[in-house]
Amino acid sequence: MTQTPPKRGAAAKQGLARNTANYGDPDFALYLRRSFAKSMGYSQAMLDRPVVGIVDTGSAYNNCHRTMPELIEAVKRGVLAAGGLPMPFPTISLCEPSLFPTSMHYRNLAALDTEAMLTAQPMDAAVLVGGCDKTVPAQLMAAVSADIPAVQLVTGPMLATPFQGERLSACTDCRRYWAAYRAGRVSNERIAEIEGRLATTAGTCGVMGTASTMACLAETLGMVPLGHGSIPAVHADRLRAAEDAGALAVRLIANPIRPSQIITAASIENALRVLLALGGSTNALIHLTAIAGRRGVRIDLRTLNELSDSTPVLVDLKPTGEGYMEDFHAAGGMPALLWELRDLLHLDPIDVTGVSLEQRLVEPAFVDRRYIRARAEPVSPVGGIVALFGSLAPRGAILKRSAATPSLFETEARVMVFDGLADLADRIDDPELDVTADDILLLKNAGSLTPAGMPEAGYLPIPSKLARAGVKDMVRMSDCRMSGTAFGTIVLHITPEAAAGGPLGLVETGDRIRLSVKDRSLDLLVPQAELDRRRARWSPPAKPPRGWDRLIADQVLQADEGCDLAVLRAGG
């Protein structure tokens, strides 16, 4: 076999010649790298090709990524057919139910890991393969910061399962049945039976939860080719999308389009519009804020309110409607939704193919109006999420009105306070708990600065004595998050959080709070003199002594800044 002599010096900047190790001799570094690569059986012809890195987040802990091996193989086919050399490599895999304290606690670690590997290893472009809630935002954050040509590929949603006259899919149905179980309407035997029917295929949650919302927003931003975000995980089209992603990554090497050209202030505003029209996950607002922060773009919650008041909810999926992601995809998916919203969108932003949104939009031949409504017949005339401001939330809080009870939108009531997750677990089902359905449940000290890791605990359970009496919703508030699959009249992301010294930390049981969705306000009705006395007794929590937990405590930002690490944002 004829050996091609190694290329020398600064002229070789593609493929394996990129980012050579620092030995003080770049030619030797490339010579050594090729030598080790050849030990894996690559021919010189393969090693001379441009390199596409493939981010592999497969894990035995991550059911959402069960199809990762075949997706990686499909991406590799696309790369090879287009003339590139595919190089899969592992990064942290985040699965919502598999991580303690929460997957959110590790989103920034996954973003840091991914960014470091994108920039440290030799690759000319990348395919980012992720699915479960925090994985896709972490990869998009990393892509913006690394700013190498990249394509996002999502694993896709699971299919709903027909079961005894209804369809089930994680995780809105999980919560619905668990609430009924806590209320005594579902037996031990029945809840055990349901447990085995909620998630029967590979893929992310089958409703418009955080994973599905982020897939749709990645498609809106332009990092996912139009039409690819909602393909079910087990469909053959998902593998074809993976092959397309590999081929597209190779094309990006010759005609580079970087994430910084795709993710702009205009495309971010488009994503906010789509989030509102989807009735999508409140978590997506934190993630989109973090992605925007990597570009130096600030998401203003007051602007969110303006967009929400002029953006209808058009998608009728659980948790705010009746359908599942497979229905949304078959109904027309994101191409159909973007067409309906076209007059509300910026049409100039380009996607990974370099084509503007205006050029990508085509009137669909078919739209199933059960799941994607026409503008004249929306699910709701206004957007799914609103921001609240006031003495309890000086920098804002969030309420998902599309999943809430309208009769609770204007509430002034007494507060029952839980000081952290342990206190909540200890007392919520106490039959002697002094609480009524008219009270407000409030959880504090569960935000991003706490060891709790900003969990999806904002969906406080209805106290069992009230649930058994038939209460299905009541106003609940916290400085943490709730699952995108959850529902209820729930105020989230109260900022500043209690552990940061926010007013939330001063609230005591028996205080009164006024919530007004109409006025976008959230106020603590306690005299200032009393708050001053309480603040004088308050002290910040002790920081963890070491490790990732200490880095979080030193660096993590508040919800209105996306809970990113300060040092990782644009400009540091």
Residues forming CATH 3.50.30.80 domain(s) in the chain? 385-541
Rounded CA separation 572/569 (Å): 5
Handedness of CA 207, 208, 211, 212 (dihedral sign): positive
Model pLDDT for residues 197-225, shown as the tens digit of each residue:
999 999 999 999 999 999 999 999 999 99
Q: How would residue 277 be classed by pLDDT, with cut points 50, 70 and 90?
A: very high
Rounded CA separation 136/218 (Å): 8
With 90 as the cut, is the pLDDT of residue 276 above it? Answer: yes
So what's the pLDDT on residue 197?
94
So what's the pLDDT on residue 279?
94
Model pLDDT for residues 144-193, shown as the tens digit of each residue:
999 999 999 999 999 999 999 999 998 889 889 988 998 899 999 999 99
**Residue 300 DSSP symbol:** P
Model pLDDT for residues 210-266, shown as the tens digit of each residue:
999 999 999 999 999 999 999 999 999 999 999 999 999 999 999 999 999 999 999
Report the chain's terminal Cα–Cα distance, integer Å: 51
Rounded CA separation 328/159 (Å): 12
Quick check: 114 and 128 in contact, CB under 8 A? Answer: yes
* Tokens read off for 375: 């503008």
Complete DSSP assignment for 484-512? TT--SSEEEEEES-GGGT-GGGG--TT-E
Quick check: 387 and 304 in contact, CB under 8 A? Answer: yes
CATH of domain 385-541: 3.50.30.80
**Residue 176 DSSP symbol:** H
**Residues near 188 by beta carbon (within 8 Å), at least 6 away in sequence:** none
Most confident of 12-16, 486-490, 506-510: 506-510
Rounded CA separation 267/569 (Å): 18
- One-letter identity of residue 310: S
**Residue 315 DSSP symbol:** B
Largest CA distance in the chain: 86
Whole-number average pLDDT of the chain: 95
Q: How would residue 571 be classed by pLDDT, with cut points 50, 70 and 90?
A: confident
Rounded CA separation 528/405 (Å): 31
So what's the pLDDT on residue 487?
87
* C-alpha distances in Å from residue 469, one per residue of 174, 437, 464, 472: 21, 10, 8, 9
Handedness of CA 396, 291, 58, 78 (dihedral sign): positive
Model pLDDT for residues 289-318, shown as the tens digit of each residue:
999 999 999 999 999 999 999 999 999 999
The percentage of residues in the chain with a pLDDT greater than 90, rounded to a whole number, is 92
Rounded CA separation 218/275 (Å): 11
Rounded CA separation 487/59 (Å): 29
So what's the pLDDT on residue 2?
39
Does an H or E element contain 542, and which? none
So what's the pLDDT on residue 484?
84
Question: Hey, which bits of 97-230 come out as E strands?
Answer: 125-130, 150-154, 161-163, 166-168
**Displacement of CA 498 from its chain's centroid (Å):** 23
Q: How would residue 1 be classed by pLDDT, with cut points 50, 70 and 90?
A: very low
With 60 as the cut, is the pLDDT of residue 4 above it? Answer: no
Residues forming CATH 3.40.50.2300 domain(s) in the chain? 49-159+201-360
Quick check: 437 and 411 in contact, CB under 8 A? Answer: no
Handedness of CA 318, 323, 326, 329 (dihedral sign): negative
With 80 as the cut, is the pLDDT of residue 11 above it? Answer: no
So what's the pLDDT on residue 450?
94
How many of the other CB atoms lie within 10 Å of CB of 430? 12
Question: Residue 565: helix, strand or coil by DSSP?
Answer: strand
* Tokens read off for 541: 């929590």
Rounded CA separation 63/83 (Å): 32
With 90 as the cut, is the pLDDT of residue 5 above it? Answer: no
Instruction: Report whether the peptide linkage leading into residue 97 is cis, meaning its omega lies within 30 degrees of zero.
Output: no
With 50 as the cut, is the pLDDT of residue 9 above it? Answer: no
Closest CA to 151 of 81, 206, 228, 99: 228
Model pLDDT for residues 400-450, shown as the tens digit of each residue:
999 999 999 999 999 999 999 999 999 999 999 999 999 999 999 999 999
**Residues near 100 by beta carbon (within 8 Å), at least 6 away in sequence:** none
Q: What is the mean pLDDT of residues 510-536?
A: 98
Q: What is the mean pLDDT of residues 529-553?
A: 95
So what's the pLDDT on residue 8?
41
Q: What is the mean pLDDT of residues 531-548?
A: 95
Rounded CA separation 456/319 (Å): 15
- One-letter identity of residue 377: E
Q: Give the CATH H-level superfamily of domain 49-159+201-360.
A: Response regulator (3.40.50.2300)
* C-alpha distances in Å from residue 375, one per residue of 309, 314, 363, 367, 442: 14, 7, 14, 13, 37
Instruction: Report whether the peptide linkage leading into residue 496 is cis, meaning its omega lies within 30 degrees of zero.
Output: yes
Model pLDDT for residues 79-106, shown as the tens digit of each residue:
999 999 999 999 999 998 899 999 999 9
